[in-house]
């Protein structure tokens, strides 16, 4: 699924930025939910899952706002996570 999301038109301090972001992601969100429902998931479950995933992603972003600088999953080893015993 290819996404087409427009860039912000205002500065982050602009009160309309939240609304503009909602408009920007609306169609992609509709397409995602439609695909999930067409795959057989009940709408109530699909929307609940979307809400939970969005909340969890927001929490993860608070912990690590620049995941691009994280090592690739195959680069992570037990020794890089746990100290030597």
Q: What is the pLDDT of residue 43?
A: 96
DSSP 66: -
- In tens, the pLDDT along 19-71 reads 888 999 999 999 999 999 999 999 999 999 999 999 998 998 888 777 676 66
Sign of the alpha-carbon torsion through 54, 58, 64, 67: positive
DSSP 65: S
pTM score, whole prediction? 0.64
Q: What is the pLDDT of residue 82?
A: 52
Contact (CB, 8 A) for 8 and 21 = yes
Regarding predicted confidence, which is higher, 81 or 13? 13
Q: What is the pLDDT of residue 77?
A: 53
Sign of the alpha-carbon torsion through 33, 30, 3, 19: negative
63 CB-side CA count, 13 A: 7
């Amino acid at each position: 699924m290819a996404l087409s999301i427009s860039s912000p038109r205002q500065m982050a301090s602009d009160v309309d930025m939240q609304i503009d972001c909602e408009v920007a992601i609306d169609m992609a969100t509709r397409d995602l939910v439609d695909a999930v429902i067409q795959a057989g998931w009940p709408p109530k479950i699909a929307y609940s899952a979307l809400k939970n995933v969005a909340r969890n992603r927001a929490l993860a972003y608070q912990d690590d706002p620049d995941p691009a600088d994280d090592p690739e999953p195959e680069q992570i080893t037990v020794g890089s996570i746990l100290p030597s015993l």
